[in-house]
Structure 1
Amino acid sequence: MEEQPMPIGLRPLACAALLAGAAPGEAQTSFEPIPPEQAARYRFDFARNFYATAEAERKARSTLRATLAQLEKLKGRVASSPETLLGALELNERAVSQAMRHIIYLYLRFATNTRDQESQDAQNRLIAELNTRTSFLQQELMRIEPGQFKRFAAQKPALQRYAFVVRSARRLRPHTLGLREEEILSTLAPHLGEWQGELYQASLDRTDWPRVQDDGRQIHVHHQEGDWRNSPERRVREEGFKGLYAGYRSHRDFYAFALLRQVKARNEVARLRRYRDYPAEAHFALHLTTQQVKDLFRRLEEQGEFNKRYQRLRAERVRQIGGFDEVNVWDLTVIPRGLQRPRFTIEEAARVIRDALAPLGQEHSGELAELLDPANGRLDLVPGENRVPGAFAWGMPGSQTSIFYSFNYEGYFDDVSALAHEAGHAVHYELMANNRVPASYTSGPTYFTESFAMLNELLVADHLYRNAGDDLRRTYFLEQFLGQAMSVFGVGRQAALEQAVYDQVQAGKARTPDDLDRLAREIGARTSIWHDRHPELAMEWIAVHHFYRQPMYYVNYVWANFLSLKYYQMLRQDPGGFIRRYLALMRNGFDAPPAELLKKFLGLRLDDPKLAADAFSVLEGRIQELEALYAKGVEGP
């Protein structure tokens, strides 16, 4: 089935096992992450950045449909001459750029109000229409042999910019059906593979989530997760953790129904296109093979003891400073007595991010400042009912200015990190726009742009660590750095779980919620000490919303983690040289296979064993720094 254009990121929420956190006896103070009088400034300004009204957006679709009609006039003769080929490729770019403005707008309307089903449906219909009406282009481009394209480009040099477009179409030839079949699948795509995400969201919206009492406040365990995770009260943290999973459990059968049907539908359509299954199709799109991906999961599992060692180190630290007989996963947000938990208003967060990323240069800093300025209406992060979970950035270079959405901003470090992460995507869009990258080359293997976003997170944590005024704060921010860096094990576990679900559904071994729980427990225990201790974590297949809305996305996070750690190492070794080459890669777009781009700009290879080895070297070095700080003493009860 056709892939639905989706926002980049939908960033995973940080695992509690990787966070640092609140101290026994830590004083509760009034804190406003976004002052109420400023809240309206931190919502999207749709009129400024998109369309004046919803009606204006509907009327503007006529322009898109006129472009599609022009393109359709070339059906059957796209490759008849150099002029016709160039015209078809240019019209397709124009149609995609125009469509994406509508698609982004409609999704944001839904994301900020999930009761707006009309916008969600309109988005799905528009994507299906775009894919259906442009299906013929793939059919005709894939038949253009290299020699013919070379002759055409010699006669019409402007065609050379589309060389990789035609090359990519030929690559898909073994997996492309006849035109009528492709048109039918494009039309049916929303009905085959999108309703599961809608059912997931509806189940979240209809859950009667528990509230936890904390110092006279009622904390919503789903909407205010940061508050209960970081509460100084152990009871609140435990009730919040158990209440969150109780909420998931209340619709467990619906979630299982949606996920299992999603897997079956996507596998069936993938087989129609002559892939082994949907994971094989998704990996092919990333210029990877399923075997490469499984080998990566295996290498991570082989390093499982490395992660468990770090988890035990953190657990022992928490035991000492908390005075606990036994440490549970909800205790991992404990910090020493004497340290006030760092929290950041939205303005403070913006300043920290700007300062941390300033070394990336003037153009990068300028685009970042534009995004973070609330006057531009490109941010939406005020909490409320009926909002899509997670955080994401989206844009379309040359057509739609990038934006940032978050389910909620609570002012904790993880919120700052999420903002830095998604700013990486948003700035990437703008750098490509400044470089006039053609629409055809503004998207590619997502582990690239995820690696840019993850480097931002590392740089923000590192900046706060290096500028901390005392050992307690240095320790806290080094824990945050490692929380992000060691998340390669968390996202690796979740990506391996999703792969296993697809494999076992296809083999007839995963049919029920209990089967999904079993898989999550087995895979979790290989790299984590917590899955055997806390049965709630068997419901991880519910907690990862990507499984329902962006299937097979998590593998991008795994590769991106390794790349971002390599970038961090290169930046420390040669700041000037790395930044110059790194920004050139960000500006370039995706006009070649990922292996060629990585080699050309950064001299890296995804299949180089040193990529993982260097990442673990960085991790080992930072863990040793943390151990040295821990050795200086413990402030407990």
Structure 2
Amino acid sequence: MAKDPFQWAAEGPSGAQTTVEVPDRASIPEEDRWRLEDIFPNDEAWEAAFHELEGLIDKLAAFRGTLGQSGEQLLAFLQLNDEVGQRAEALWGYAHMRLDEDTTHPESQGRQARALNLLVRLESAVAFATPEILAIPPEQLERFLQETPGLEGYRHALDEIQRRRPHTLSEAEERLLAMAGEVGQSPAQIFQMINEADIRFPTVRDEAGREVEITHARFLKLMESRDRRVRRETFQGLYATYQKQRNTLAATLAAQVQKNIFFARARRFGSALEAALFPSNIPVSVYTNLIETVRQGLPALHRYMALRKRALGLDEHHMYDIYTPIVPEVTVRIPWQEAQELAAAALAPLGEEYVRVLREGFRSRWIDVYENRGKRSGAYSTGVYGVHPYVLLNYQETLDDLFTLVHEMGHALHTYFSNRAQPYVYANYSIFVAEVASTLNEALLAHHLLERWDDRARRLYVLNHQLDTFRTTLFRQTMFAEFEQQIHQEAEAGRPLTAERLAELYGELNAAYHGPAVVNDEEIRLEWARIPHFYMNFYVYQYATGFSAAQALARRILEEGQPAVEAYLAFLSSGSSDYPLAVLQRAGVDMTSPEPVRQAIQAFHELVQELERLLEP
């Protein structure tokens, strides 16, 4: 078993407490670090591949003006474009993951910047392609597809280009937008540097009196503390730090919003929201249905928050109280090795093949497990076609971390099955369906723990966790989605997004969603300043829609067994070979209807009732 990388210091002879420091990268055991050598053996190999890819830019550009000549010429371009895309994906994956290991490392910062610049240059070099393909008369394009062996495999991709016709500009305009792409990344990059590399939070005394440095990874664990003083001081310390940066972060977020609006208007969309949903072919009504349906279901959330307040015995239920479990006699610590076994057992309903691949990921170092100084906070999964998926964690041995593990491995195995089944052109799947794969795993884990843990205290703990998962995934992410909608509407109407206006909008939403049983603390008005997903252009709503779809699919797998498993594995293997709503429709979930969200809210309401029953004296 790997040693504990956090190395909690014991008391000295005098009883003085030492500070719990974040370890540096070198102190993390190799077996607990992802193996980026599977992409490139070293930085020198990355450099060589970088220069090779630079040489292919001219080859791609040489196709300019020729795509309508013949089906063979069109096919040759599409195949070379796929080869270049796959190579670029490897370069980018290695570069950004090296940086995420330690965001303060100058060489890694430079490598990622160069990779991003190369991606922009490649995009600019092929800016002619979509306008040229759109210039091919439909009957001629169909003849190409019929007469050219191998071209039929690109039919869906070519149909997708046709769908984009109203929003595709001239070749010169497309090149300009491609060149602007690197500038457009600036707000997100600036936020990441402030939030990950530069910002430092104060220390707080934990329950044992040790001085612990607040970090992104430790924040939630500290907020789950049984000691209310620890929670309050952590909460206040974190937001006092953001308060000092509020105007800079407001300007950064406003720049991100303006970027979204610029590209939406340049491509003739009615709004930034419409533009963001268009690539996945999602109608705006799916977004607005989500917000409206969750708004209608807020009384269930308010009931839960009131229950938490009673269970915790609080006169006032503050925002720093909402993460601590309401079953104080239970402490669940899950070491990394145990987490792997629990994950495998919980996901067994998905079949032997799924579990085999899961264990391969554990064994073959797909995962970067622990926090180190400068490491990117949070968790994610990413894939490199032709290699394997990767997962970044900041594992802290909590039940939340176990759920994060199965969540991210849901993404990873989705990537694995999609990459295995689909050619490169269709391997990447929409984020809209990605969150189904991850949250379905969470639902199966909760089911497994409730089946395994039969004592009342642990069942209460898991039930509490499930309710908080609903709260943070369905309700909280929808609140984020509504905030994104509001700030874009403000900017589209010409109103400035100052720090005070952002705080005002966010505070009003937070009060409405959490209800009268929770104190709407002044500090929470600044929460917008620390949310990286606000730099991902209407991303978060998909957590809520995916969560709702996943609940339905998980029930089906548990109730129907092998037929449902086979259908689900087919879903995981679909990639982008069809649009996400169609893929989900075949899996048995209609996300154009508010019904899946209503059912999820009803399930939440029933869990609240069960918790109330178990908490009765």
TM-score scaled by length of structure 1: 0.88
User: Which of 183, 192, 201 does residue 209 from structure 1 map onto?
Assistant: 201
Structure 2 residues without counterparts, runs of 5 or longer? 1-19
Per-residue CA shift, 1:218-250, capped at 9, x if unaligned? 222224214422323221111011111112112
- The aligned amino acid for 2:171 is L
User: Which of 120, 135, 147 does residue 143 from structure 1 map onto?
Assistant: 135
Per-residue CA shift, 1:150-209, capped at 9, x if unaligned? 322221242221111001111111111111221222122111x21112221222232231
- The aligned amino acid for 1:152 is F
Instruction: Tell me, yes or no, if the aligned pair for 1:112 and 1:386 is still in contact at 8 Å.
Output: yes
Is 1:539–2:523 an aligned residue pair?
A: no
- The aligned amino acid for 1:577 is P
Counterpart of 2:263 in structure 1 is 269
**Matched residues in 2 for 1:615 and 1:454: separation?**
12
TM-score scaled by length of structure 2: 0.90
Q: How does 1:318-333 map to 2 (within 5 A)?
A: 318-319=312-313, 324-332=314-322, 333=324
Runs of 4+ in 1 over 4 A off after TM superposition: none
- The aligned amino acid for 1:514 is E
Deviation at 1:531, TM superposition (A): 6.8
**Matched residues in 2 for 1:282 and 1:452: separation?**
21
Instruction: Tell me, yes or no, if the aligned pair for 2:367 and 2:391 is still in contact at 8 Å.
Output: yes
Deviation at 1:41, TM superposition (A): 1.8
Instruction: Tell me, yes or no, if the aligned pair for 2:260 and 2:537 is still in contact at 8 Å.
Output: no
User: Which of 123, 129, 148 does residue 115 from structure 2 map onto?
Assistant: 123
Worse overlay, 178-187 or 409-418: 178-187
- The aligned amino acid for 2:54 is R
Worse overlay, 575-584 or 525-534: 525-534
**Matched residues in 2 for 1:74 and 1:189: separation?**
22
**Matched residues in 1 for 2:369 and 2:399: separation?**
15
Worse overlay, 220-229 or 167-176: 220-229
**Matched residues in 1 for 2:428 and 2:496: separation?**
34
Deviation at 1:286, TM superposition (A): 2.4
Per-residue CA shift, 1:491-538, capped at 9, x if unaligned? 000111011111101213343100001110122222213775212111
Deviation at 1:291, TM superposition (A): 4.2
Deviation at 1:259, TM superposition (A): 0.5
Decide whether aligned partners of structure 1 residues 359 and 81 sit closer, same or farther in structure 2, where only a CA change above 3 A counts. same
Deviation at 1:253, TM superposition (A): 0.9
Counterpart of 1:200 in structure 2 is 191
Q: Equivalent residue of 2:382, what SS?
A: strand
**Matched residues in 1 for 2:137 and 2:349: separation?**
45
Q: How does 1:67-82 map to 2 (within 5 A)?
A: 67-82=56-71
**Matched residues in 2 for 1:599 and 1:338: separation?**
44
Q: How does 1:186-335 map to 2 (within 5 A)?
A: 186-191=178-183, 193-204=184-195, 205-214=197-206, 215-223=208-216, 224-319=218-313, 324-332=314-322, 333-335=324-326
Instruction: Tell me, yes or no, if the aligned pair for 1:226 and 1:410 is still in contact at 8 Å.
Output: no
Counterpart of 2:146 in structure 1 is 154
Q: Equivalent residue of 1:393, what SS?
A: strand
User: Which of 466, 484, 506 does residue 492 from structure 2 map onto?
Assistant: 506
Counterpart of 1:377 in structure 2 is 365
Counterpart of 2:583 in structure 1 is 597
- The aligned amino acid for 1:259 is L
**Matched residues in 1 for 2:64 and 2:103: separation?**
38
**Matched residues in 1 for 2:271 and 2:581: separation?**
24
Deviation at 1:71, TM superposition (A): 3.0
Deviation at 1:42, TM superposition (A): 1.3
Per-residue CA shift, 1:234-291, capped at 9, x if unaligned? 2111101111111211211111010111111221222111112322211111212334
Decide whether aligned partners of structure 1 residues 489 and 510 sit closer, same or farther in structure 2, where only a CA change above 3 A counts. farther
- The aligned amino acid for 2:213 is H
Deviation at 1:37, TM superposition (A): 8.2
Instruction: Tell me, yes or no, if the aligned pair for 2:168 and 2:267 is still in contact at 8 Å.
Output: yes
Q: Equivalent residue of 1:403, what SS?
A: strand
Instruction: Tell me, yes or no, if the aligned pair for 1:462 and 1:477 is still in contact at 8 Å.
Output: no
Counterpart of 2:477 in structure 1 is 491
Decide whether aligned partners of structure 1 residues 524 and 531 sit closer, same or farther in structure 2, where only a CA change above 3 A counts. farther
Per-residue CA shift, 1:512-570, capped at 9, x if unaligned? 1000011101222222137752121111211211113x222112212112111221232
Per-residue CA shift, 1:27-51, capped at 9, x if unaligned? xxx9x99xx987332122222x221
- The aligned amino acid for 2:387 is Q
User: Which of 396, 400, 403 does residue 387 from structure 2 map onto?
Assistant: 400
Worse overlay, 55-64 or 103-112: 55-64
Decide whether aligned partners of structure 1 residues 381 and 413 sit closer, same or farther in structure 2, where only a CA change above 3 A counts. same
- The aligned amino acid for 2:187 is Q
**Matched residues in 2 for 1:617 and 1:301: separation?**
13
Q: Equivalent residue of 2:388, what SS?
A: strand
Instruction: Tell me, yes or no, if the aligned pair for 1:423 and 1:453 is still in contact at 8 Å.
Output: yes
User: Which of 563, 567, 573 does residue 581 from structure 1 map onto?
Assistant: 567
Per-residue CA shift, 1:434-482, capped at 9, x if unaligned? 22x0111122421101111111112112211221030100110111122
Instruction: Tell me, yes or no, if the aligned pair for 2:491 and 2:497 is still in contact at 8 Å.
Output: yes
Q: Equivalent residue of 1:386, what SS?
A: coil
Decide whether aligned partners of structure 1 residues 226 and 443 sit closer, same or farther in structure 2, where only a CA change above 3 A counts. same
**Matched residues in 2 for 1:218 and 1:495: separation?**
36
Decide whether aligned partners of structure 1 residues 281 and 444 sit closer, same or farther in structure 2, where only a CA change above 3 A counts. farther
Structure 1 residues without counterparts, runs of 5 or longer? 1-29
Q: How does 1:4-83 map to 2 (within 5 A)?
A: 39-47=29-37, 49-83=38-72
Is 1:446–2:466 an aligned residue pair?
A: no
Worse overlay, 485-494 or 198-207: 198-207
- The aligned amino acid for 2:174 is E
Counterpart of 1:617 in structure 2 is 602
**Matched residues in 2 for 1:226 and 1:296: separation?**
27
**Matched residues in 1 for 2:95 and 2:200: separation?**
27
Counterpart of 1:522 in structure 2 is 508
**Matched residues in 1 for 2:61 and 2:98: separation?**
30
User: Which of 568, 588, 591 does residue 554 from structure 2 map onto?
Assistant: 568
Deviation at 1:217, TM superposition (A): 1.7
Is 1:459–2:444 an aligned residue pair?
A: yes
Per-residue CA shift, 1:608-635, capped at 9, x if unaligned? 343223223322333332222222x3xx
Q: Equivalent residue of 2:135, what SS?
A: coil
User: Which of 64, 78, 94 does residue 89 from structure 1 map onto?
Assistant: 78
Instruction: Tell me, yes or no, if the aligned pair for 2:300 and 2:605 is still in contact at 8 Å.
Output: no
Is 1:479–2:470 an aligned residue pair?
A: no
Counterpart of 2:91 in structure 1 is 102
Q: Equivalent residue of 1:142, what SS?
A: helix
Instruction: Tell me, yes or no, if the aligned pair for 1:103 and 1:126 is still in contact at 8 Å.
Output: no
- The aligned amino acid for 1:385 is R
Per-residue CA shift, 1:96-144, capped at 9, x if unaligned? 1111000111111111121232023112202202211222222222334
Is 1:179–2:171 an aligned residue pair?
A: yes
**Matched residues in 2 for 1:253 and 1:592: separation?**
43
Q: What value does the CA root-mean-square deviation take over the aligned residues?
A: 2.3
**Matched residues in 1 for 2:56 and 2:539: separation?**
31
Q: Equivalent residue of 2:69, what SS?
A: coil
Instruction: Tell me, yes or no, if the aligned pair for 1:391 and 1:418 is still in contact at 8 Å.
Output: yes
Worse overlay, 292-301 or 454-463: 292-301
- The aligned amino acid for 1:302 is Q
**Matched residues in 2 for 1:113 and 1:131: separation?**
28
Decide whether aligned partners of structure 1 residues 95 and 337 sit closer, same or farther in structure 2, where only a CA change above 3 A counts. closer
Deviation at 1:337, TM superposition (A): 4.8
Count of aligned pairs between the two proteins: 587
- The aligned amino acid for 2:298 is G
